[in-house]
């Protein structure tokens, strides 16, 4: 079996693939568990985004803009 669907390896998902994933998730977890799973996944994504934003803001605040002692543009005017 040499054929591997390229969409699984990083391409975009087609509507058929999304439907297949939804059916598999529905069969695995059932209709009663889906809302709690979706809620937990949403909270986890929100927490991850908040942490990524905090880290990004911390990096921006930690590195003040550096100004070199001599600007190469000044050397061209001398």
Per-residue model confidence as pLDDT tens digits over 31-52: 898 899 889 999 999 999 999 9
Within-domain flag for 14: no
Residue 56's domain spans which residues? Answer: 30-61
Q: What is the pLDDT of residue 1?
A: 45
Q: How far is CA 36 from CA 42, 45, 52, 67, 71, in A?
A: 10, 14, 24, 52, 58
pLDDT value of residue 30: 87
Rounded to whole angstroms, the Cα distance separating 13 from 37 reads 22
Query: Average per-residue pLDDT in the chain?
Result: 79
Burial zone of 25 (CB within 10 Å; 0-12 exposed, 13-18 middle, 19+ buried): middle
Q: What per-residue confidence (pLDDT) applies to 44?
A: 96
In a domain, 7, yes or no: no
Domain count, the chain: 1
Q: Which pTM value belongs to this model? A: 0.51
pLDDT band at 15 (very low <50, low <70, confident <90, very high): confident
Question: 44 in a domain, yes or no?
Answer: yes
């Amino acid at each position: 079996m040499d054929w591997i669907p390229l969409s699984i390896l990083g391409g975009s998902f087609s509507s058929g693939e999304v439907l297949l994933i939804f059916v598999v998730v529905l069969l695995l977890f059932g209709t009663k568990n889906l809302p709690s799973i979706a809620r937990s996944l949403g909270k986890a994504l929100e927490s991850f985004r908040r942490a990524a934003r905090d880290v990004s803001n911390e990096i921006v605040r930690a590195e003040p803009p550096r100004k070199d002692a001599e600007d190469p543009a000044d050397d061209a005017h001398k």
